Amino acid sequence: MVYGGYGGYGGYGSGYYGNYGPYGMYGSLGGYGGVYGGYGTTNAGRVKFDTKVKDAEVFIDGSYAGTAGQLKTITLKTGSYDIEVRTPGRTAFAQRIYVVGGKTLKLRPNL
C-alpha cells in the first residue's frame, strides 16, 4: 500500500492516477510524497539524488520511480532498497541502500 504526502497532500502518489501515479509506486515529485508518508513519519528516511544528469531514470527495487530531476529527494520507509540510476549511453549506477528513519542518505551517481 502506498501512502504519500506532506501535510496530507499525496502529490503524484495519489489522486487521479491512483496509488501508482505516473512515476511508479514510489512516485514523489519534489520529495514531498513517497512510499509511507512524509516528514511527520518517524519510521521513514529520505534519499537525496545529487547528479548533474537530471533526466537519468531512477528505479527502486526494479520499479520506475521517475527522473533524478523530478525526484530530487524521496521519502522511503526504513529498510533495504536496490537503487538504480541509468541513462542511455552511460554506465548505470546500482547500489543496495539501507534507509534509516529520520536520516537523509545522499546518493551521488557518477553517470
Task: Check whether 57 has a pLDDT greater than 60.
Answer: yes
Cβ atoms 13, 65 nearer than 8 A:
no
Instruction: Count CB-CB contacts under 10 A for residue 33.
Output: 27
Task: Give the pLDDT of residue 111.
Answer: 78
Domains along the chain? 11-106 (2.60.40)
Cβ atoms 4, 13 nearer than 8 A:
yes
Per residue in 10-54, pLDDT (tens digit) is: 333 433 333 444 444 444 443 334 444 444 556 899 999 999 999
Q: Report the DSSP beta bridge partners of residue 92.
A: none
Please state the pTM of the whole predicted model.
Answer: 0.63
Task: Check whether 75 has a pLDDT greater than 80.
Answer: yes
Instruction: For residues 3 and 35, give the distance between their C-alpha atoms in angstroms, rounded to a whole number.
Output: 6
Task: Give the pLDDT of residue 110.
Answer: 84
- Contacts of residues 90-98 at CB distance under 8 Å and 24 or more positions apart, as own/partner, are 90/53, 90/56, 97/47
State the cell numbers at 14: 495519489
